[in-house]
Structure 1
Amino acid sequence: MACLCVRVMRHSFSLVALAKVERASPRWLCTSTMQKDGVRSEEKAEKPEQSAAEKVLAEKTQLEEQLKDMTDKYKRALADTENLRTRHRGMIEDAKLYGIQGFCKDLLEVADILEKATESVPKEEVTSQNPHLKNLYDGLVMTEAQIQKVFTKHGLVKLSPDGQMFDPYEHHALFHAPFEGKEPGTVAVVTKVGYKLHERVLRPAAVGVAKAP
């Protein structure tokens, strides 16, 4: 009988201990689960922050590239504009200097006719005994001098290179022939004078060049 009572008491104590453990276990499990959930929440909170920082960095890089591209385009446009302005300025200066080039070419024929007319008059006939011829000759000389004065005023200069070294940029060689007393390579005969407009050859002089015998 005594042994039976002892067994019953031991069994009761075991049941009581087990009940205490079962009552304590859910609280421990809840605490552990809450801790794990807290860590996951922190990880989830860190991930959005990291992704936002990466997004901002990507946007910054993109904006820097766009700024660099726009700066490069601006510099190129500025250089193109400056080159265009310089080109237009040069064109305007050329137009001011050489805008009368076509008009001058037409007047050169008039100057040539006046020069030929004065050269064709016999000098011995230009006397007071022949007043009509003398007046005509004097008028031609004065007209030729006046037209040359106008040419000089507008930058048109006559080229009469008799005795000068032949220059292919200013002279047009019609023939080469030996000339006594002329150095080879020099202009021996000028058949038609040339003209230069502001350092630009408007018409080369037609010449004959001396060569070695």
Structure 2
Amino acid sequence: MNGEKTDDMDKESLSEAAEAELAGVPEDMLDDGAEDDETVSDADRVVELEEELAEAKQAVLYAKAEEQNTRRRLEQEKQNASSYAATGFARDILSVADNLERALDAIPDELREDEKFKGLVAGLEATGREIVTIFAKHGIEPVEAIGEELDPNRHQAMVEIPTDDAEPGTIVQQMQRGYVIKDRLLRPALVGVAKKAD
């Protein structure tokens, strides 16, 4: 019995001694660490949220850039569509211009001077001028050929003509006029190119 009482007293005195020893220690140092875990997990959560926010900002920037690129592309396509809308019609009307030019070139001088045909010739010439004016209004211009160096992007060589009067590769004859619409080739000029005479 006395032994049990001694053990209880020892435990009591140990407990009192421990309390006395801990009395001078600040309370925040006595926490069991649960709060530290909460602080660490809160800090981790803040980092995660900041990363998610950065990713969301990046995604928004990419979406805005993509939207801007799409808008620019659509505006460019719209501009091209309006600029080159007449391309098909222009190609078709070129043969009319060619035939009119051939008809005017085929009229002999004496017929031009004949009083009966002067009105007809003047009408054909006026029509030719009107076609040229309408072409220019829509950005359709003839391709320069005679005297120019052969350019495969604008000219199509049909024959080589031996001559000493021009440098080899120079265009000396035009069989059919070429045209561009704005900066695009509508039809290449069909040409004869000089080559060295034998």
TM-score by length of structure 1 reads 0.79
Contact 1:186 1:210 in 2 (8 A): yes
Structure 2 counterpart of 1:26: 8
Residue 183 of structure 1 pairs with residue 167 of structure 2 = yes
- Distance apart, 1:43 and its partner CA: 8.6
Quote the Cα distance in structure 1 between the aligned partners of 2:182 and 2:32: 80
Identity of aligned residues (%): 30
| Greater RCO, CA 8 A, separation 6+ | 2
Quote the Cα distance in structure 2 between the aligned partners of 1:25 and 1:182: 129
Task: Give the alignment's Cα RMSD to 1 decimal.
Answer: 2.7
Structure of greater Rg: 1
Structure 2 counterpart of 1:54: 40
Structure 1 counterpart of 2:82: 96
Residue 84 of structure 1 pairs with residue 45 of structure 2 = no
Task: Choose the corresponding residue for 1:203, options 168, 187, 194.
Answer: 187
Structure 1 unaligned blocks of 5 or more = 1-17
Alignment of 1:1-213 (within 5 A): 26-33=8-15, 35=18, 45-129=31-115, 131=116, 133-213=117-197
Structure 2 unaligned blocks of 5 or more = 23-27
Quote the Cα distance in structure 2 between the aligned partners of 1:160 and 1:24: 124
- Distance apart, 1:24 and its partner CA: 7.0
Quote the Cα distance in structure 1 between the aligned partners of 2:4 and 2:99: 136
SS at match of 1:126: helix
Tell me which protein shows more helix as a share of its residues. 1
Residue correspondences, number? 190
Quote the Cα distance in structure 2 between the aligned partners of 1:125 and 1:179: 34
